[in-house]
Amino acid sequence: MKELVVIALGGNAIKQAGEEGTAQQQFANIDIASKEIVKLSQAGYKLVVTHGNGPQAGNLLIQQEEGKKLVPALPLNVVGGMTQGQIGYMFQNRLQNNFSLAGKSVPVVSLVTQVLVDKDDPDFQDPSKPVGPFYTEAEATSLKNDKGYVVKEAKPGVEKGWRRVVPSPEPIDIVEKEAIKSLIGSGAVTIACGGGGIPVKKDGKQIIGIEGVIDKDKTGNVLAQSVGADVLMILTDVEHALINYNKPNQEAVGAVSVEQMQKLYDEGHFLGGSMGPKVEAAMRFVRSTGKKSIITSLDKAGDALAGKTGTIISA
Ligand code: ADP
Ligand code: MG
């Protein structure tokens, strides 16, 4: 039986830091990621892909802001759906082309995905995730008064200005999970839950879109569990999670048990907002399934699945 691998791709696989994010640049990055994904498929793995959307949502929010004199600005949940469509399309195109170059005909499909969160999630009381452009204090104050945005001053001393912050609730369940399973069953490389999924909350028998952002690595775990994956593989721009990160005694974490990883996590080696949620998501997957989770870089994905590198967390 082919191993089913859920790949959670970091933002740098789509838009590199410092790039403006033109269509050409994003296609070029996605082409590189697609070549790696095709190699994994050729090596015999069944693949489900999820991806970040931070820079794309950020740029689209600027387009909403700047274009609102001409056309209505759309809310963050709709922008989330737009980024899933955009990035999903780019992957469908480049994955199909690269399969074709490899002489393979493999269906590729992306699915706009909603993810259920708890309407009482504590993050709704104290939103933590900055989104969209930087504002002056005056602009931030009028957005707060006119639109009810929660605004916070950006990291003093590091970044200048004010930003809108939105809730980042925990993912609970994937609304379209049965559709995702049937797409996987059909043999398609399936792209789902982009940007962590569009958050929705329950209101009786209805679901309602929320202006918030779910961490893509945490949703990656829920996706991997929902589809019965054998491996959750989180691909970013570093080959390993590191202890003593950015210090002279920095050291790579290789193959570890979930207990060992928890100890390192508790010692504070993995920064919140970047490596922290990856380690958390990886440990959740291993604890709930008894299977393994890998954190490594895109170009090392194949080697890591073969056990040769990467941070590999097992039960
Ligand atoms: P992604 O877009 O893949 O989610 P992030 O920037 O969120 O990427 O997370 C990856 C980054 O986490 C690395 O580039 C690194 O700068 C940072 N990081 C923080 N703590 C650690 C750590 N302990 N080990 C390795 N990388 C770390
Ligand atoms: Mg990240």
Measured in Å, residue 292 CA sits from the centre of ligand 1 at 20
Ligand nearest to the CA of 214: 2
Pocket of ligand 1 from Cβ distances under 6 Å: 10-12, 52, 236-238, 241-242, 245, 269-271, 274-275
Atom 16 of ligand 1: nearest residue by CA position? 274
Task: Say if residue 111's pLDDT is above 80.
Answer: yes
- Least confident interval from 112-116, 169-173, 262-266, 269-273: 269-273
Report pLDDT digits (tens) over 174-221. Answer: 999 999 999 999 999 999 999 999 999 999 999 999 999 999 999 999
Task: Say if residue 156's pLDDT is above 80.
Answer: no
Asked if 278 is an active-site residue, the reply is yes
Residue in 238, 253, 265, 297 to alter for ligand 1 test, most ligand atoms within 8 A of Cβ? 238
- Which amino acid, one-letter code, is at 125? Q
Q: What is the CB-side half-sphere exposure of residue 199 using CA atoms within 13 A?
A: 24
Atom 9 of ligand 1: nearest residue by CA position? 274
The ligand 1 atom nearest the CA atom of 243: 23
Confidence category of residue 290, pLDDT binned at 50, 70, 90: very high
Q: Which 3-state string (H, E, C) describes the chain? A: CCCEEEEEECHHHCCCCCCCCCHHHHHHHHHHHHHHHHHHHHCCCEEEEEECCHHHHHHHHHHHHHHCCCCCCCCHHHHHHHHHHHHHHHHHHHHHHHHHHCCCCCCEEEECCEEECCCCCHHHCCCCEEEEEEECHHHHHHHHHHHCCEEEECCCCCCCCEEEEECCCCCCEECCHHHHHHHHHCCCEEEECHHHCEEEEEECCEEEECCCCCCHHHHHHHHHHHCCCCEEEEEECCCCCEECCCCCCCEECCEEEHHHHHHHHHCCCCCCCCHHHHHHHHHHHHHHHCCEEEEEEHHHHHHHHCCCCCEEEEC
**Are 215 and 274 within 8 A, CB to CB?**
no
Task: Say if residue 291's pLDDT is above 90.
Answer: yes
What end-to-end distance do the CA atoms of the chain give, in Å?
21
Measured in Å, residue 14 CA sits from the centre of ligand 1 at 16
Asked if 104 is an active-site residue, the reply is no
* pLDDT-above-70 percentage for the chain: 100
* pLDDT-above-90 percentage for the chain: 91
The ligand 1 atom nearest the CA atom of 12: 2
Asked if 216 is an active-site residue, the reply is yes
Task: Say if residue 107's pLDDT is above 90.
Answer: yes
Task: Say if residue 1's pLDDT is above 70.
Answer: no
Report pLDDT digits (tens) over 68-105. Answer: 999 999 999 999 999 999 999 999 999 999 999 999 99
The residue annotated as part of the active site, out of 15, 177, 201, 216, is 216
Atom 5 of ligand 1: nearest residue by CA position? 274
Those residues with Cβ within 8 angstroms of residue 73's Cβ, 6 or more apart along the chain or in another chain: 64, 65, 67
CA distance 296 to 252: 11
Residue in 238, 274, 296, 298 to alter for ligand 1 test, most ligand atoms within 8 A of Cβ? 274
Asked if 12 is an active-site residue, the reply is yes
The residue annotated as part of the active site, out of 278, 291, 292, 300, is 278
Asked if 129 is an active-site residue, the reply is yes
The ligand 1 atom nearest the CA atom of 237: 14
CB atoms within 10 A of CB 75: 14
Measured in Å, residue 69 CA sits from the centre of ligand 2 at 33
The residue annotated as part of the active site, out of 15, 52, 80, 129, is 129
The ligand 1 atom nearest the CA atom of 54: 2
CA distance 174 to 223: 7
